[in-house]
């Protein structure tokens, strides 16, 4: 065996033989380039990290400076963040799992030297692999010694020296690090478990706002308190909150919305509890709230979010379900029943996608020339009405409006002409017969009517109808009723020759000042 083979096998080796100095020098050059990049040159930083490391996940951010021996012996999972001055002596393998975060000055040492001076002076050294599981947080100045395995969901306190393996779900501190307690489900809502919450405001813009509306009925049912959904600017500038036992949840998938930051700051100034929800692990809104929750849907680089709508809705539901369970408001047995209902809807989604795709194929020739588009619906699907209208507007880039059907009755109908294209989300309920009656009337004024519904109560179907066996769950079927509008928003721009990922003005948010695009935390920047 040569010295490199001995090194990687954990056997004594000499670091200056068999090409090892040349490998280290080559890596030092890469590290030098990385550490001397301009702080806003994040694309080049990502490229260099991919070159330095043996393996890295979809999102990885390492603050400068960073130091390692070889680099190629380091494997990093998804969503990794390391603060300043990370040092990894990777003479042996270093494996880091998903969703791992390091505070400043963390050091991982696989390298060791003999204890006896005679052996040490011989020049031989050794390396033993370090592994770190998923969802691990290492505090500032933590040192991990050779051969250590850290399990999943572990927190290591600042200044600790980890000399021995740590099992899953523990907090460890000290030199040497010792386990002080297990991490339990009660830690999920650490900030709020002992606080009384009388009402909740969910604030967000666009899809985030619609996701709050979609989750609202479920949240009110399990928590038995009032949940308000508002745009951040409305909340921060005009909303009067008289009850101090109020939780304000700011949601932004990209995490850089300055209006959501303004709303959270306004809540904090009023002495209210705050929480933030974002997909971006370095979201700006995380810095303006007491708690942070990730939407685990991956980076949607497209402007028109689809996964984000469902992901934000479900994340909000799960987050507050955990809070309700911890507070004893929601029993585990009842929550299991809710989850069964959720999965019933989820398992039905492929059927809806298939039906919606075929439906689009039938209507596209009629729909593509549309210049005026209206979406109507009611009850739990009102959020889908607004979100569906937004998706089509973002992608097809024609005028689209969404209305609750009762509001449509109050005057909007007067504006209908033969050029109007109207989509009806007719879920099960008292308003379904009225929707069908409305369609019969409006057929006299426009031929472009598109019904999205289950087959019950529908006698005569035509090619414009998207008739699917929806689950028709009053709390969770909005997840499936949005799909036909999302399919339309996906396929129509392709046929129109529109690339919805390219905004009309790529610099719009920078010019208007609506988002903080600093190139560091904004992972959505092209």
DSSP 8-class letter at 209: H
**Token pair for residue 372?**
């005026």
Alpha helices in 368-515 (DSSP H): 382-396, 405-409, 431-442, 478-481, 483-496, 508-512
Active site residue 410: no
3-state DSSP call for residue 423? strand
* Main-chain phi, psi angles of 259, to 5 degrees: -70, -35
Distance from C-alpha of 521 to C-alpha of 301, rounded to nearest angstrom:
14
3-state DSSP call for residue 6? helix
What is the helix (H) or strand (E) element at residue 199, kind and residue range? Answer: strand 199-203
**Token pair for residue 361?**
């194929």
- Other CB atoms within 10 Å distance of the CB of residue 221: 13
Count Cα atoms within 13 angstroms, Cβ side, for 514: 12
Active-site hit among 73, 113, 347, 421:
113
Residue 31 CA from chain centroid, whole number? 31
- Other CB atoms within 10 Å distance of the CB of residue 213: 21
* Beta-ladder partners of 294: 278
Q: Are 308 and 295 in contact (CB under 8 A)?
A: yes
**Token pair for residue 355?**
């039906």
**Token pair for residue 440?**
């019969």
Q: Are 31 and 71 in contact (CB under 8 A)?
A: yes
What is the helix (H) or strand (E) element at residue 3, kind and residue range? Answer: helix 3-8
Distance from C-alpha of 197 to C-alpha of 200, rounded to nearest angstrom:
7
**Token pair for residue 281?**
């692990």
Q: Are 377 and 423 in contact (CB under 8 A)?
A: no
Report, as residue numbers or ranges, the catalytic residues: 113
């Amino acid at each position: 065996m040569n010295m490199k083979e001995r090194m990687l096998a954990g056997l004594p080796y000499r670091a200056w033989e068999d090409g090892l100095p040349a490998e280290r020098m080559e890596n030092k050059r890469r590290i030098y380039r990385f550490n001397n990049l301009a702080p806003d040159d994040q694309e080049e930083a990502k490229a260099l990290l991919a070159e330095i490391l043996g393996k890295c996940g979809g999102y990885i951010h390492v603050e400068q400076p960073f130091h390692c021996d070889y680099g190629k012996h380091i494997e990093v999972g998804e969503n990794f963040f390391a603060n300043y001055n990370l040092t990894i002596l990777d003479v042996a393998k270093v494996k880091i799992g998903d969703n791992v975060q390091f505070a400043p000055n963390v050091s991982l040492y696989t390298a060791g030297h003999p204890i006896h001076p005679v052996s040490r002076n011989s020049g031989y050294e050794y390396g033993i692999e370090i592994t770190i599981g998923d969802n691990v947080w290492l505090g500032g100045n933590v040192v991990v010694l050779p051969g250590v395995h850290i399990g999943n969901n572990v927190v290591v306190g600042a200044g600790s020296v980890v000399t021995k393996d740590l099992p899953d779900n523990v907090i460890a501190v000290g030199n040497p690090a010792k386990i002080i307690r297990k991490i339990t489900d009660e830690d999920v809502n650490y900030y709020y478990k002992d606080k009384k919450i009388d009402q909740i405001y969910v604030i967000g813009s666009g899809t985030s706002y619609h996701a709050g509306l979609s989750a609202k009925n479920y949240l009110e049912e399990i928590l038995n308190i009032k949940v308000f959904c508002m745009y951040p600017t409305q909340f921060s500038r005009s909303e009067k909150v008289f009850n101090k036992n109020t939780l304000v949840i700011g949601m932004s998938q990209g995490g850089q919305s300055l209006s959501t930051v303004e709303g959270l700051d306004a809540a904090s100034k009023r002495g209210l509890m705050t929480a933030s929800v974002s997909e971006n692990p370095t979201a700006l809104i995380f810095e303006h709230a007491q708690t942070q929750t990730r939407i685990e849907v991956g980076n949607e680089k497209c402007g028109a979010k689809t996964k984000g709508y469902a992901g934000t809705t479900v994340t909000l539901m799960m987050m507050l379900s955990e809070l309700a369970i911890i507070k004893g408001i929601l029993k585990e047995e009842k929550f299991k029943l809710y989850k069964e209902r959720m999965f019933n809807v989820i398992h039905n989604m492929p059927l809806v996608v298939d039906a919606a795709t075929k439906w689009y194929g039938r209507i596209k020739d009629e729909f593509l020339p549309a210049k005026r588009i209206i979406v109507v619906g009611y009850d739990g699907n009102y959020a889908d009405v607004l979100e569906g209208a937004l998706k089509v507007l973002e992608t097809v880039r024609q005028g689209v409006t969404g209305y609750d059907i009762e509001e449509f009755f109050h005057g909007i109908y007067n504006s209908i002409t033969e050029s109007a294209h109207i989509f009806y989300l007719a879920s099960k309920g008292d308003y379904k017969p009225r929707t069908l009656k409305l369609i019969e009337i409006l057929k006299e004024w426009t031929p472009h009517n598109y019904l999205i519904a289950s087959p019950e109560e529908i006698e005569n179907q035509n090619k414009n109808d998207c008739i699917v066996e929806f689950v028709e769950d009053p709390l969770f079927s909005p997840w499936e009723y949005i799909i036909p509008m999302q399919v339309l928003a996906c396929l129509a721009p392709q046929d129109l020759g529109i690339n919805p990922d390219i905004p009309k003005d790529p610099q719009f948010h920078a010019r208007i000042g609506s988002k903080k695009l600093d190139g560091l935390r904004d992972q959505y920047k092209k």
